[in-house]
Structure 1
Amino acid sequence: MTIETLLREGMAAIAKQPPGNWGNASANIPLTVPLIAEDYPAKTASMWNSMYSRLLVPDRNMMLVAEPKDLKRIIDVFRADPRYRGGGAGVGFKEAVIPYLDEVTPLAKAMGAVNILKKDARGRLVGDNTDGEGYARSLETVLAAGKVPLKGAHVLLLGAGGSGRAIAFALANKGVRLTILNRTESKARELAGAVNRYFGSTVADGGSRILLPSVFGGADAVISVIDDAVSPLDAYSTIGDMELPVTPESITRNRGTAEQLLGTAKRSLVVSDIRIRKEETPMLAQAESLGFQTLDGIPMVVHQGVAAFWWLYGDELASRGVQQTDVAETMGAAAGL
């Protein structure tokens, strides 16, 4: 079985929107294969393939669109295909893939989510998570510009999915005080509880979005971690009221309630949205128009990509005199930073 098997069976398709995505599934070269549930203009393929070109190696990164329900078959094929070296677990796969792996690193296991897989020398598939550390580094840089240290900062996390879990654990590890709010309150409370158990102290609180007005004014950063590749919620600022179905009237109400909350915020507040879209998200556009510092998901993608690339290839790269800063330079340029 090879990756071409998945394409023939209709269980996967080569993503069309990511710039620089490798499109030849039959090439006899080593492959890294990120899985995504929806086709969107992800930066991963461009970043990784730029690095492969710089290293003058034949490896290529080929993003595939697939469905999590087919993971057992997909993972069986990855194990069987000798060209598969590893790859990403995108939205929809971060949590679902874990039962099919042979090993998960301790922190990723506590998070309950992985974003990167590698095939080890014994052919075993191992999962890790670099999403959170990648985001923490990008937020630390932006907060420092406003002379706010990351350690001790109060951060509002809006959402509790796969990316949100990784970010929550990474920020807690940096000494951040977390308030996790979600439309489904039980998910926010579960995530806060998992973080607190892992670190052995109360560093996170979880609750419903109803609490937003009472906690917004004291926040140093507010982060939207809604990470669906395509979502009807894209029309909304995650700060404001989000009603379904989306209508022109509900969008107007959303902007109004978001602006009211932003009016109560510290002027040093960092407003962040990890969604990567062709255009700036409504949350970031509105915050920028009101003079707030903003942070999108691209720096996170670069930082986590560098960490993931090093996790797969670190020993090989070090033997060639390549440093992580070299990887960061190449991937950052490919992502447009």
Structure 2
Amino acid sequence: MKFYGLLGESLVHSHSPSLHKLIYQKVGLDAAYKLFEFPSTQLEQAIDGIRTLSINGVNVTIPYKEAVIPYLDEVSPFAKKLGAVNTIENANGRLIGHNTDYDGFGLILTRRQWDVNGKIAVVLGSGGASKTVEAYLMDHGIKMIYIVSRNPERFKDTRNKRYTNYEDVQSLTGDFLINTSPVGMYPNANETPLSETSIQQFDYLIDLIYNPSETTFLRLGRENNKQTANGLDMLVGQAVRAVEVWEKCSIDEQVTEELISEWKKRHGESL
């Protein structure tokens, strides 16, 4: 049996073990998936533990997608470009960082046929997930991106990318409003990163959070007749891609569709 898992600081909300169990059943893989929760002070020890315990691979979530990079033996060119790792492969004790979030985020848009070409997007949050979303939008023709950060002065603006704070973002309008921050995640489901007034200025709302399936952020969007999507497609898409990386295999797109459909039936999700 092979062993995989998830590294994170707070994983009480995670559905990853049950999702991976479903994937392994679909592809006939004898494997188990565990949660590895620890404080940031123990990150280096956790990475060493992957080698010591011969764990075949792990996913990485908030807040370690950028922080793990210095502790890895190698980072794929794509993950290095994004500046974020969400999947680590243990190749005989050599730890290699990958990014499968890019494909996962793309699945949210492609399954709904939402086109970002020539559009304006506001991205809430400036961490590893934000960098991945930003890269995807840039690669698919976005006209302008506004990145909302608590400390926008740390970043440098470019021709089609601007950094702003949560106060000034309230005056912005655009097409896509994307939450990559943990605000609104279980158990703090009543929180929202932006007010209803701000949400009304956009047509499409995407929240990378999948638990709860409808955050307060998305509920406000729905109540204002906006197109909304949660992070379920991204969760499934990146997980399938991670298994492909670990197992050096290719999983049919139909399997991904079946996984999303079965997950919604099990959890009563409507988004």
Give the unaligned 5+ runs of structure 1.
1-28, 197-201, 241-257
Report how far residue 160 of structure 1 moved: 0.5
Task: Give the alignment partner of residue 198 of structure 2, picking from 246, 256, 261.
Answer: 261
The letter of the residue matching 1:150 is: V
Tell me the residue number matched to 1:168.
134
Structure with the largest fraction of strand: 2
Give the unaligned 5+ runs of structure 2.
266-271
- C-alpha change, 1:33 and 1:229, in structure 2 (3 Å) is farther
State whether structure 2 residue 58 is matched by structure 1 residue 87.
yes
Task: Give the alignment partner of residue 167 of structure 2, picking from 185, 189, 210.
Answer: 210
Deviation string 1:36-80 (CA, Å, 9 cap, x unpaired) is 211333232222111212333321111222222212212212112
- C-alpha change, 1:113 and 1:278, in structure 2 (3 Å) is same
Distance 1:56 1:277 in 2: 27
Distance 1:155 1:294 in 2: 14
Task: Give the alignment partner of residue 159 of structure 1, picking from 125, 130, 143.
Answer: 125
Report how far residue 102 of structure 1 moved: 0.4
Tell me the residue number matched to 1:37.
9
Asked if the contact 1:39–1:65 (Cα under 8 Å) also holds between the matched residues in 2, the reply is: yes
Report how far residue 133 of structure 1 moved: 2.8
Tell me the residue number matched to 1:290.
224
Report how far residue 232 of structure 1 moved: 9.0
State whether structure 2 residue 147 is matched by structure 1 residue 180.
yes
Asked if the contact 2:102–2:133 (Cα under 8 Å) also holds between the matched residues in 1, the reply is: yes
State whether structure 2 residue 256 is matched by structure 1 residue 328.
yes
CA RMSD of aligned residues (A): 2.4
Asked if the contact 1:47–1:332 (Cα under 8 Å) also holds between the matched residues in 2, the reply is: no
- C-alpha change, 1:44 and 1:233, in structure 2 (3 Å) is closer
The letter of the residue matching 1:277 is: N
Report how far residue 296 of structure 1 moved: 0.8
Asked if the contact 2:79–2:97 (Cα under 8 Å) also holds between the matched residues in 1, the reply is: yes
State whether structure 2 residue 237 is matched by structure 1 residue 303.
yes
- C-alpha change, 1:153 and 1:160, in structure 2 (3 Å) is same
Q: TM-score, normalised by structure 2?
A: 0.87
Report how far residue 139 of structure 1 moved: 2.5
Distance 1:140 1:55 in 2: 23
Task: Give the alignment partner of residue 281 of structure 1, picking from 191, 195, 215.
Answer: 215
- C-alpha change, 1:43 and 1:336, in structure 2 (3 Å) is farther
Tell me the residue number matched to 2:22.
50
- C-alpha change, 1:331 and 1:67, in structure 2 (3 Å) is farther
Distance 1:69 1:76 in 2: 13
Counterpart mapping for 1:132-147 below 5 A: 132-142=102-112, 144=114
Task: Give the alignment partner of residue 70 of structure 1, picking from 19, 39, 42.
Answer: 42
Report how far residue 230 of structure 1 moved: 5.7
Report how far residue 127 of structure 1 moved: 0.6
- C-alpha change, 1:310 and 1:60, in structure 2 (3 Å) is same
Deviation string 1:56-108 (CA, Å, 9 cap, x unpaired) is 332111122222221221221211223x1101001122111111100111232
SS in 2 for 1:336: helix
Looking at CA atoms only, which structure, 1 or 2, has the larger radius of gyration? Answer: 1
Distance 1:212 1:94 in 2: 25
Report how far residue 179 of structure 1 moved: 1.2
Report how far residue 143 of structure 1 moved: 5.3
Greater mean deviation of Cα atoms: 123-132 or 47-56: 47-56
SS in 2 for 1:33: strand
Distance 2:184 2:40 in 1: 14
Structure with the largest fraction of helix: 1
